């Protein structure tokens, strides 16, 4: 995929250099760790020390065409998905029956089993410690920063003409990232498409026709362009609502109150996180403290009499310790974040945080509501109605209309689920994706790898042809594969042109919700967007995992 030398009349290298300069000036960057000579050392042994530098985040040089109607539809779904997550989190019976039990996800996936165990012990009082052990957690409020990811899926109408429907890929309820960087990607793309409007017009319009059809013409020359991304206003605003709610509920102590960001050690997506931190201070005067789960084991203490979570001072002086009002997890979504195992210090830190009266983002219930198995169960007939009562039929249908085909591979698999699996094993593997209960990208199975993984865990009765599912498959779901429109993109990685070619995109819509311990919703809104773009031959889609780039929608 060698890039052309120009786009319109402008050299491509010049446009890329302009984008890199914009990225540097606006913080559209990721951190990179390097080794440098230790000038402070008197040794001549050439000792090295680690230092941080910054480089342009992985981006698409220009925005990608996206239908305005489907963009607005995604925005409109945000508040209902927020509410759905909140209601699921309070339904322990549903979470237990969906994720637990013989032949369920927790039989095959130790990580989800640990999450559900803690949820049951803390929120349902089912552990050996009794109901008092989770008392303060049950009295705490909840903050959600969700992101629902969608693709356009191709369909044909009665005249055999292709059109696209918005379908949900997944719902992320923990560590939903790239809100900060996406705001600046949208700014970059508005700048480039206005500053170099004539030079890039043919490229943009060609992509619009690729998505909308070759006969597409803008109405009266209308150019909707790249919308404003409100993520850095909306997400800190929700955190401020949660912070203020904590302030109002609990009598002020002598300790300063902070928001705790739980982060990964060695994190490179720090700029994205810092944008939230800096906006919290500049707009709301709320200080942030960053800490890993490992460090939290020794630096956090829980007052067992009040449920107050404190950050210890460096010198041990109680007058200098800080009180945690809100905990925002940007780590803890993967088994890799708990390297010391089930009884290790990282899980002990998570347990200590969860048992406190601090508002968690997410609490364990919200976290579990974002698992793939819950997503699959929600697509079953009648399940959404469990969470939305009479008078909400239109909301239920709008949510259900966004679901792709989702099929269980556990002990609760229906004949319809088995039929889909049989189709995947009989030459239809290209129509499905095999997905585990994992976040972060890089874990899915496609094509031949899907067939191989399934066949390793399926037995077929030679006489009845009945399929018997192995227990290891319970941690997976089978999902309909989506086929979005392809359009040309120029992708940059580390500031260099990676290539130009056919790409596909995935839209993420952020949503924020703050609810009280008894389920009263104080705040619920759409909170911005993210677009990720990758070359068409790439199956996985994570930016941080190296598969995709950040882009933004050019509405048409």
- Cross-strand partners of 56: 29
Residue 100 assigned to a binding site: no
Q: Is 440 annotated as a binding residue?
A: yes
Calpha distance 125→116 (Å, rounded): 12
64 annotated binding-site participant = no
Asked whether 236 and 55 are in contact (CB, 8 A), the reply is no
**Structural domain tally of the chain?**
1
The reported pLDDT for the residue numbered 476 is: 95
**C-alpha distances out from residue 311 to 76, 327, 335, 517, Å:** 39, 12, 25, 23
Rounded distance between C-alpha atoms, residue 474 and residue 463, angstroms: 25
Residue 20 lies in a domain: no
Q: Quote the CA–CA distance of 286 and 279 in Å, as a whole number.
A: 9
3-state secondary structure of 216: coil
CA–CA gap between residue 47 and residue 50 (Å, rounded):
10
pLDDT of amino acid 541: 52
Question: Which contacts qualify for 190-193: CB closer than 8 Å, 24 or more apart?
Answer: 190/225, 190/226, 191/22, 192/15, 192/18, 192/19, 192/22, 192/61, 192/62, 193/62, 193/63, 193/225, 193/226, 193/554
Size of the chain in residues: 556
What does the pLDDT read at residue 368?
98
Q: What is the CATH number of the domain that holds 414?
A: 3.30.1490.50
- Greatest Cα pair distance in the chain: 78
Answer yes or no: is 197 a known binding residue.
no
DSSP structure class, residue 445: B
Query: Token pair for residue 376?
Result: 């699959």
Cis peptide before 362 (omega within 30 of 0): yes
Q: How many CB atoms lie within 10 A of CB 36?
A: 10
pLDDT of residue 1: 46
Distance CA 356, CA 418 (A): 43
**Which domain covers residue 460, as residue numbers?**
405-480
In a domain, 411, yes or no: yes
DSSP state at residue 225: B
In terms of pTM, does the model score above 0.85?
Answer: yes
Beta strand 521-535 with 496-515 is antiparallel
Is 446 annotated among the ligand-binding residues? yes
| Distance (Å, whole) CA 190 – CA 224 | 11
Inside any domain, residue 8: no
Any idea which residue has 């972060």 for tokens? Answer: 440
Pairwise CA distance, residues 173 & 367, whole Å: 6
532 is known to lie in a ligand binding site: yes
SS3 category, 467: strand
pLDDT at residue 311, rounded to an integer: 98
- Residue 436 assigned ligand-binding role: yes
Closest by CA to 476, choosing from 376, 404, 370, is 376
Cβ-contact 33, 270 below 8 angstroms: no
Answer whether residue 3 is part of any domain.
no
- Quick one: tokens of 295? 């460090």
Residue 123 labelled as part of a binding site? no
Q: What is the spatial distance between Cα 67 and Cα 211, in angstroms, rounded to a whole number? A: 8
Residue 534 assigned to a binding site = yes
Listed residue (362, 8, 381) closest to 200, CA to CA? 8
Question: Tell me, what's the pLDDT at 46?
Answer: 63
DSSP state of 118: H
Q: If residue 259 lies in a helix (H) or strand (E), which one and from where to where?
A: strand 256-262
Structure tokens at 542: 């994570």
Q: What is the pLDDT of residues 437-474, one digit of tens each?
A: 876 666 899 999 999 999 999 998 888 878 999 999 99
3-state secondary structure of 289: strand
Three-state secondary structure string covering 401-426: CCCCCEEECCCCCCHHHHHHHHHHHC
511: nearest Cα among 15, 104, 86: 86
Q: Is 97 inside any structural domain?
A: no
Question: For residue 493, what are the β-bridge partners?
Answer: 496
Which tens digit of pLDDT belongs to each residue from 206-221?
A: 999 999 988 888 876 6
Q: Does 543 fall in a domain?
A: no
Ligand-binding annotation for 134, yes or no, is no
CA angle 145, 100, 387 (to 5 degrees): 50
- Pair 427, 528: CB distance under 8 Å: no
Answer whether residue 87 is part of any domain: no
Give pLDDT, residue 157.
81
> Are the beta carbons of 541 and 504 closer than 8 angstroms?
no
Residue 444 labelled as part of a binding site = yes
**Residues of the chain scoring pLDDT < 50:** 1
Collapsing DSSP to helix, strand or coil, 236 comes out as helix
Tell me if 351 is assigned to a ligand binding site.
Answer: no
286: DSSP letter: -
What token pair was written down for 474? 């319970």
Distances (CA, A) of 279 to 197, 283, 288, 331: 31, 6, 10, 20
Tokens of 128: 């050996």
Report yes or no on 523 lying in a domain: no
State the number of CA atoms in the 13 A half-sphere of 249 facing the CB.
20
Which pLDDT belongs to residue 41? 57
443 appears as a binding residue in the annotation: yes
Whether 279 has a binding-site annotation, put simply, is no
CA angle, 447 then 450 then 454, to 5°: 145
Strands 322-329 and 359-361: parallel
- Token pair listed for 256: 């300063």
Tell me if 438 is assigned to a ligand binding site. yes
Question: In Å, how far from its chain's centre is CA 464?
Answer: 42
| CA atoms within a 13 Å half-sphere pointing along the CA-CB vector of 348 | 14
């Amino acid at each position: 995929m060698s890039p052309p030398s120009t786009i319109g009349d402008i050299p491509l290298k010049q446009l890329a250099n302009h984008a890199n300069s914009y990225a540097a000036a606006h913080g559209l960057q990721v951190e990179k760790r390097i080794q440098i000579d230790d000038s402070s050392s008197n040794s001549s042994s050439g000792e090295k020390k680690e230092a941080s530098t910054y480089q342009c985040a992985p981006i698409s040089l220009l925005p990608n065409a996206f239908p305005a109607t489907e963009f607005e539809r995604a925005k409109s779904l945000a508040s209902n998905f927020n509410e759905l997550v909140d209601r699921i989190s309070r339904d322990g019976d549903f979470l237990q029956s969906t994720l637990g039990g013989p032949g369920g996800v927790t039989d095959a996936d130790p990580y989800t089993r640990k999450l559900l165990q803690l949820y049951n012990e803390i929120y349902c009082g089912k552990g050996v410690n009794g109901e008092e052990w989770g008392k303060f957690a049950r009295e705490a409020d909840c903050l959600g920063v969700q992101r629902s990811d969608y693709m356009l899926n191709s369909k044909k109408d009665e005249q055999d003409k292709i059109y696209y429907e918005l379908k949900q890929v997944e719902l992320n309820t923990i560590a939903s990232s790239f809100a900060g960087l996406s705001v600046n990607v949208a700014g970059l793309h508005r700048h480039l498409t206005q500053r170099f409007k004539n030079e890039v017009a043919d490229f943009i319009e060609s992509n619009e026709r690729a998505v909308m059809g070759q006969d597409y013409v803008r109405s009266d020359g209308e150019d909707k362009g790249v919308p404003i991304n409100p993520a850095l206003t909306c997400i800190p605003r929700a955190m401020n609502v949660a912070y203020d709610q904590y302030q109002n509920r609990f009598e002020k102590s002598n300790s300063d109150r902070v928001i705790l960001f739980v982060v990964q050690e060695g994190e490179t997506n720090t700029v994205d996180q810092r944008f939230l931190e800096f906006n919290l201070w500049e707009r709301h005067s709320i200080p942030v403290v960053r800490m890993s789960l490992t460090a939290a084991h020794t630096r956090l203490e829980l007052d067992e009499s009040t449920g107050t979570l404190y950050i210890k001072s460096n010198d041990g002086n109680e007058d200098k310790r800080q009180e945690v009002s809100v905990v925002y997890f940007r780590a803890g979504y993967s088994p890799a974040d708990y390297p010391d195992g089930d009884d290790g210090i990282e899980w002990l830190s998570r347990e200590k945080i969860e048992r406190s009266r601090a508002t968690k983002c997410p609490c364990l219930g919200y976290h579990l509501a974002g698992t793939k198995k819950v997503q699959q169960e929600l697509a079953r007939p009648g399940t959404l109605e469990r969470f939305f009562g009479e008078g909400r039929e239109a909301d239920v249908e709008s949510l259900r209309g966004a679901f792709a085909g989702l099929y269980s591979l556990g002990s609760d698999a229906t004949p319809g689920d088995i039929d889909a699996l049989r189709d995947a094993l009989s030459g239809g593997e290209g129509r499905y994706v095999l997905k585990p209960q994992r976040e972060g990208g890089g874990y899915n199975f496609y094509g031949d790898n899907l067939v191989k993984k399934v066949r390793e865990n399926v037995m077929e009765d030679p006489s009845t042809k009945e399929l018997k599912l192995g227990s290891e498959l319970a941690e997976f779901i089978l999902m309909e594969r989506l086929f979005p429109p392809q359009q040309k993109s120029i992708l940059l990685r580390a500031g260099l042109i990676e290539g130009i070619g056919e790409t596909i995109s995935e839209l993420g819509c952020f949503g924020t919700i703050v609810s009280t311990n008894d389920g009263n919703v104080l705040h619920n809104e759409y909170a911005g967007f993210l677009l990720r773009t990758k070359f068409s031959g790439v199956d996985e889609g994570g930016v941080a995992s190296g598969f995709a780039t950040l882009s933004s929608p050019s509405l048409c």
